[in-house]
Amino acid sequence: MLYYLFDWLHKLNFPGAGMFGYTSFRALMAIILALLISSIWGDKFIKLLKRKQITETQRDAKIDPFGVNKVGVPSMGGVIIIVAILIPCLLLGKLHNIYMILMLITTVWLGSLGFADDYIKIFKKDKEGLHGKFKIIGQVGLGLIVGLTLYLSPDVVIRENIEVRTPGREMEVVHGTNDLKSTQTTIPFFKSNNLDYADLVAFMGDHAQTAGWILFVIITIFVVTAVSNGANLNDGMDGMAAGNSAIIGLTLGILAYVSSHIEFAGYLNIMYIPGSEELVIFICAFIGALIGFLWYNAYPAQVFMGDTGSLTIGGIIAVFAIIIHKELLIPILCGVFLVENLSVILQRAYYKVGKKKGVKQRLFKRTPIHDHFRTSMNQIESGCRVVFTQPDNLFHESKITVRFWIGSNNDHHIKDQINHGSMCRYADRGRSGCR
């Protein structure tokens, strides 16, 4: 809203109003404002949660090897994150931008889904919360909305990066002059790094492009569901999900910024996405909100984000990556979420196989995998065989959290792309040439 006010003032030659036209200025304001909201208002909200005794059933100190008591800590702290994201975006963003609209819808949609789950757990005293099928329906629904919007909206376009090879001269990366609808995505760390989903269904002939979009929508649904569930599973220790997601958000923000700048996109040999600069505003608000929330959520936690927060931040990461055509980077970027998901799936599958044979067996001492490192064999029921029993030494959750943060720090992947770009030099008229 402030953007439109200052844009109007700029047209009237009001001094300093033109600052709001710069993405960097609005991004800086977004991260500061989100940080202030989550840290200052967050404190007041936490006190309100404590007064109302809004807590879910949490673990008793007896099941923790270090005797950490998690009873009485308020939940639904994800509301802090959502509010700290929405306010800066509404104030500083271009609300007519299709990418900003999609991110706001994602935040509200999954925030509402997570809120319903937490409400059932806390106020209805049902530990299971919202039934799993309703969560899946909500996630699939969001995936459909995002996928179909990206397919149907005329504002969702790219400019393809094209490698031009001339004998005896350096290879040039040139972006097309026309905006086009495309099912292309980026294959990370490859020189010829564009993959067109339509090429995967080329056997459809004249209908290949339409089939490519259908495939894209299916992939969108899968990514949204998988990442939001992964973030939900990752939210098991103080500061774990918030810290990991902030690091992931920083990486996505860098990728969004270079994708919105045609010269940077050419330098790194990636597609240029017009209008994606608004995503930088959103992700800065996202990072600021998480850092401010982390002040209260780091060990020992004064508040838990609950499903209100974990489902939301996972969905935000997924949709953001899809919009900037970096969804194939998700397995690396969200490697911690992937490992958490896989650990649960493998644990359940292995347990069911043993159950059919009448044998108690587990792959890990406990899942999600972060719980494996703080669980002793003495806590496993008698007669149960565990495949992976290492490490013998147990780790405090604060140490596990920090190590998972380090594991989620994928900035070196960005550096790899930049190093690839360092093999390039700018050619004439904004083009980039690669040796």
Pick out the chain residues at pLDDT < 50.
410-435
CA angle 128, 337, 238 (to 5 degrees): 65
Whether residue 124 lies inside any domain: the answer is yes
Q: What is the dihedral of CA 196, 94, 116, 110, to 10 degrees?
A: 10
Whether residue 412 lies inside any domain: the answer is yes
Overall domain count for the chain: 1
Whether residue 363 lies inside any domain: the answer is no
Distance CA 140, CA 142 (A): 5
Whether residue 183 lies inside any domain: the answer is yes
If phi > 0 it is left, if psi is from -120 to 50 it is alpha, else beta; for residue 390 that is: beta
Whether residue 148 lies inside any domain: the answer is yes
Distance CA 176, CA 180 (A): 9
Distance CA 43, CA 50 (A): 11
Cβ pair 42, 292 in contact under 8 A: yes
Which residue segment(s) compose the domain that 164 sits in? Answer: 2-333+397-434
**pLDDT score at 253:** 95
Whether residue 386 lies inside any domain: the answer is no
**pLDDT score at 413:** 46
Confidence (pTM): 0.89
**pLDDT score at 67:** 67
Q: Side chain identity at 359, as an amino acid letter?
A: V
**pLDDT score at 126:** 83
Give the pair of three-digit tokens for residue 35. Answer: 């940080």
**pLDDT score at 434:** 38
Using a CB cutoff of 8 Å and minimum separation of 24, what contacts does 342-347 make? Answer: 343/367, 343/368, 343/369, 343/372, 344/233, 344/368
Whether residue 371 lies inside any domain: the answer is no
pLDDT tens digits, 263-320 = 888 888 888 999 999 999 999 999 999 999 999 999 888 999 999 999 999 999 999 9
Give the pair of three-digit tokens for residue 383. Answer: 């007669």
Distance CA 172, CA 28 (A): 34
**pLDDT score at 412:** 44
Whether residue 384 lies inside any domain: the answer is no
Q: What is the dihedral of CA 280, 282, 284, 290, to 10 degrees?
A: -150
Beta bridge partners of 272: 159
